[in-house]
Copies of this chain bind each other. A is one copy, B any other.
């Protein structure tokens, strides 16, 4: 690992890969850090149906492979180090890993986001033993069984629809009286014969020793409790940005997302953010790829002082 580089790109989801493509084509000397597999949240998805230019129904894992291939063809090496500390020091950032410290004149943060947890007892313990955060990854394990989804947004409803095609019965548990998911998803959901939506209800605790067997719920209006016999619990209540190590370096919003301007620049004028770690109007693959490109061009302008005509 070099002691000093021009640009550090942190994270190799679609935002970080897109940033790397643009950085490479602009002739920047940079390093791409990713301790896990290239592809980010693509690795948790089944298929891609709204990334214009990529055929409808393309397998997400194939798109993730395409990202790896792109990096290889452009001879962009992925440094498999986790950054444990990120400091702004003078006109540089310092990236701490197990291998040492690297200084960079600019950085693009593209670390994505993780799934939000319910925060109830035994949730962690039963994760992988019935509790899941990704229906598309784990749904098949519950074939012909009963499962529950928690949440009321697009993801929760999409997951309930997905699971209804695999499982014998799907509960959708939502703490409010209305779903937040967009209309066409709700319509699709209510057409499913094996989905039961339980409104105004929260999950209080979980039953089961070696595997989940039941979910204890409470109606928040009546206070009435009940136990649902269920083999699975899919938690779809949102995402938390992977921004913890950046909180002293750049400005975050109240939810921990990195605040940027329209050109993806943070409040530090040599640090950019792209993708799910950023506060943004629409969290999608296509927007993440675009943001990666914009941030790399921003870094290029900062580092090289070049004017970009196009």
Whether A108 is near chain B, meaning CB under 8 Å from some CB there, is no
Are A290 and B286 also in contact (CB < 8 A) when A27-B187, A309-B238 are? yes
* Copies of the polypeptide in the assembly: 2
* Interface mask (A264-282 → B, CB under 8 Å = 1, otherwise 0): 0000000000000000011
Interface size of A by Cβ–Cβ distance < 8 Å?
58
Please report which residues of chain A, range 178-194, place their CB below 8 angstroms from some CB of chain B when the two chains form the complex: 180-184, 187
Task: Give the interface segment out of A163-171, A227-235, A243-251, A293-301.
Answer: A293-301
CB distance A290 to B287 under 8 Å? yes
A18 closest partner in B (C-beta): B52
* Interface mask (A47-59 → B, CB under 8 Å = 1, otherwise 0): 0011111111000
Task: Give the interface segment out of A63-71, A118-126, A133-141.
Answer: A63-71
Measured CB to CB, the residues of A under 8 A from B are 14, 17-18, 21-22, 25-27, 49-56, 63, 66-67, 69-70, 73-74, 152-155, 180-184, 187, 238, 262-263, 281-287, 289-294, 297-298, 300, 304, 306-310
